[in-house]
């Protein structure tokens, strides 16, 4: 007796039992509750039926001729197309040893004969619901993996596009700046005020565009997964950043101090960008009547290093704490505080690519404290030199 499956409301169940009365009882119970049921009377037929059309669940008698239920289950679990099918053992053998054996070879449940119809149905309903959830989850995982692969390809293509565009745009901008400056030098004092305004505006706009392209390119590249991380001495990184910023520090009469910083798992150039952007902002957004005071510190917090850069600048309204990290966000006019509105977005993207986060505490007219965290033991394996 081997019946073919058809469409089913609840699921497809294969019953394997050499006792016709058991087959009939189970068949009637399950079909009345919306299941499609196939019935076979021995292990060989069960293997053929399950392989040709895998059911959602198998009810398998243990004591059968030729192949017993344990042997059938072991063969099912050894085949890729049938290994994930839940198997319920049906048996008059009610010893603890038999039940343990059934679970060890891959059984999902063990139902003792004589069985109670409602109990069997409840167990089957529960197992089918679990199987449906697993299938749905597997389908969603496949869809997410496909989406992730598409995003990875898109990000790679976007990065390549940004590199090409940045290179192709920067060259004519460099020429435009150079020619404008040459033209300005050749004319000397012969410019009238309107012409002077035009040529200076052209140079300034070209320089701003050049800076914007450079910052956009940095933003696109700063979370590239191929960049290896390493154990980085933050003191050396900070010292290099301060050397680069020394002319501006002296021009603003600023005082920069720092505590001894730890070694963190990061990419040195990227970490330097974070320090440089934060210190550069502290120098830029200073109060007119007070010399900038900047301090860099670090502390341990569980599995993270927490870095803090504090200043005595103009401060930031609490309503803008989250907004300032969004790309192109500017709280002030470019004439007052020049910039592209990308610096803090770059910091956030770098820090988050390490598994950390960045945030700010500030009071208008008093100053700001920028914090960022870097995990001491990231989930991925960095290239530690």
Q: What is the pLDDT of residue 333?
A: 63
- Decide if 14 contacts 49 (C-beta within 8 A): yes
Q: What is the pLDDT of residue 384?
A: 42
- Decide if 51 contacts 9 (C-beta within 8 A): no
Distance from the first to the final alpha carbon of the chain = 68
Q: Encode pLDDT of 198-211 as tens digits.
A: 887 787 777 777 77
- The neighbouring-strand residues paired with 87 are 58
Quote the tokens at residue 312: 């005595």
Q: What is the pLDDT of residue 275?
A: 96
CA distance 301 to 323: 26
- The neighbouring-strand residues paired with 374 are 305
Q: For residue 358, how many other CB atoms are within 10 A of its CB?
A: 19
Quote the tokens at residue 163: 């590199």
Q: What is the pLDDT of residue 383?
A: 43
Question: What kind of architecture, by CATH, is found in domain 11-115?
Answer: 3-Layer(aba) Sandwich (3.40)
Q: What angle do CA 351, 356, 361 make, to 5 degrees?
A: 85
Q: Which residue, among 312, 373, 322, 365, has the nearest Cα to 344 in the 3D structure?
A: 322
Instruction: Give the sign of the dihedral formed by CA 312, CA 314, CA 319, CA 324.
Output: negative
Span(s) in the chain for CATH 3.40.50.2300? 11-115
Tell me the fold of 225-385.
Heat Shock Protein 90 (3.30.565)
Q: What is the pLDDT of residue 195?
A: 79
Low pLDDT (below 50) residues in the chain: 2-8, 380-385
Q: What is the pLDDT of residue 310?
A: 96
131-151: burial string, b at 16+ Cβ within 10 Å, e else: beeeeeeeeeeeeeeeeeeee
Q: What is the pLDDT of residue 5?
A: 43
DSSP per-residue codes, 183-208: HHHHHGGG--HHHHHHHHHHHHHHHH
No. of H helices and E strands in the chain?
9, 12
Span(s) in the chain for CATH 3.30.565.10? 225-385
Mention every residue, 6+ apart, whose C-beta is less than 8 A from residue 303: 375, 376, 377
Give the dihedral of Cα atoms 325, 329, 333, 338; nearest 10 deg: 60
């Amino acid at each position: 007796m081997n019946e073919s499956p058809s469409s089913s409301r609840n699921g497809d169940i294969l019953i394997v039992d050499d006792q016709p009365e058991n087959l009939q009882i189970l068949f009637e119970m399950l079909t009345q509750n919306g299941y499609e049921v196939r019935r076979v009377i021995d292990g060989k037929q069960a293997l053929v039926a399950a392989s040709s059309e895998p059911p959602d669940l198998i009810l398998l008698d243990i004591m059968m001729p030729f192949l017993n239920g344990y042997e059938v289950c072991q063969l099912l679990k050894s085949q890729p197309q049938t290994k994930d099918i839940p198997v319920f053992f049906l048996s008059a053998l009610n010893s603890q040893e038999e039940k343990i054996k059934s679970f060890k070879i891959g059984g999902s449940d063990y139902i003792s004969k004589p069985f109670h119809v409602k109990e069997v149905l409840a167990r089957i309903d529960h197992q089918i619901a679990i199987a449906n959830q697993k299938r749905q989850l597997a389908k969603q995982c496949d869809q997410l993996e496909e989406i992730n692969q598409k995003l990875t390809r898109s990000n790679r293509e976007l990065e390549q596009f940004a590199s090409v565009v940045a290179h192709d745009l920067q060259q004519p901008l460099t020429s435009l700046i150079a020619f404008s400056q040459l033209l300005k030098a050749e004319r000397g004092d012969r410019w009238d005020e309107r012409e002077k305004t035009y040529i200076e505006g052209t140079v300034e706009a070209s320089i701003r565009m050049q800076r914007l392209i450079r910052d956009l390119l940095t933003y696109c590249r700063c979370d590239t997964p191929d960049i290896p991380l390493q154990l980085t001495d933050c003191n050396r990184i900070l010292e290099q950043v301060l050397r680069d910023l020394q002319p501006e520090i002296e021009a603003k009469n600023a005082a920069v101090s720092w505590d001894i910083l730890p070694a963190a798992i990061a990419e040195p150039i990227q970490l330097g960008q974070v320090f440089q952007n934060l210190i550069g902002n502290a120098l830029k957004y200073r109060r007119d009547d007070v010399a900038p005071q900047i301090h860099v510190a670090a502390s341990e917090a569980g599995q993270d290093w927490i870095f803090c850069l504090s200043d005595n600048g103009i401060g930031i309204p609490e309503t803008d704490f989250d907004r300032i990290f969004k790309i192109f966000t500017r709280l002030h006019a470019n004439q007052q505080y020049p910039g592209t509105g990308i610096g803090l977005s770059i910091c956030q993207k770098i820090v988050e690519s390490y598994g950390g986060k960045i945030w700010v505490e500030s009071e208008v007219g008093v100053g700001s404290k920028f914090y960022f965290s870097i995990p001491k033991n990231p989930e991925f394996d960095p290239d530690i030199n």
